[in-house]
Amino acid sequence: MFIYDKIILYIIMIFLFVGCSKPTKVQESQYYSLDECKKELLNADDYIEKGSIDFIIVEKKERKMYLYKDNKIQNILPISLGKNSIGHKEQKGDYRTPEGTFWLHRKLCSPKYYRSLCISYPSTEDVKIANKKGLDPGGDITIHAQPKWNANGEGDQYTLSRNWTRGCMAVTNSAMNQLWYAVREGVPVIIR
């Protein structure tokens, strides 16, 4: 039975990465319109007060993101983390998701991951610790949506069932749409 399960898993992976769920160019442009995203940012149309979020808590062990408003949970989102999700990020390339208190410092229109929310990693303390060890702490940690091959969301169950990022937190594209309009720069992000 074990060999049969492995064969089924390989077949599913092949379809996800090679064929069935891979969007066409039309689907990609529908889900990854950089011009539309940039226009929203330029015109400050990237925020809606109704449904806004005050802060975010990421529980790595649960692989969940909790969205808060007025100290009440508004939503809980499933997430994927860095491939090596155990422990705090120490250096560039360790595939760990950082731990600590950060804030959103930028919204980013991304051709690779639809839309991204950049967090303030590394902190001053992270830089000091890395420097003492002679390491590069890395950076560019974001809360981002799905890769292009999953633009239409058909592979969400697969991507959310494992940790696959380089240290970022990944949500579905529909969840990113909620986050994108619910937050402004400066929103605290606690990762633990």
**Among 15-29, 48-62, 69-83, 133-147, the least confident range:** 15-29
Quote the CA–CA distance of 169 and 92 in Å, as a whole number. Answer: 16
- In the chain the beta strands, taken as DSSP E runs, fall at 55-59, 64-69, 72-78, 100-110, 114-119, 142-144, 169-170, 188-191
Average pLDDT over every residue of 69-90: 95
d(CA 127, CA 125): 5
- CB 105, CB 118: distance < 8 Å: yes
Q: What is the pLDDT of residue 186?
A: 96
CA distance 92 to 167: 9
Residue 41 parent element (H or E): helix 34-42
Domain edges within the chain:
2-191
- 87, 180, 91: which is closest to 141 by C-alpha? 91
Q: Judge whether residue 181 has pLDDT over 80.
A: yes
More confident residue, 30 or 79: 79
Closest CA to 30 of 143, 175, 173: 173
- Structure token digits, residue 57: 């808590």
Calpha distance 173→170 (Å, rounded):
9
Fold of the domain spanning 2-191: L,D-transpeptidase catalytic domain-like (2.40.440)
For residue 151, give the 3-state DSSP assignment.
coil
Q: Would you state the pLDDT for residue 41?
A: 84
Q: Is the pLDDT of residue 149 over 70?
A: yes
Q: What pLDDT does 15 receive?
A: 41
Taking residues 154-179, report their average pLDDT.
95
Mean pLDDT of 100-114: 92
**pLDDT per position as a tens digit, 23-42:** 344 344 456 678 888 888 88
Position with higher pLDDT, 7 vs 49: 49
Summary mean pLDDT of the chain: 86
In this structure, the number of other CB atoms found within 10 A of the CB of residue 94 comes to 17
Higher pLDDT among residues 73 and 17, named by residue: 73
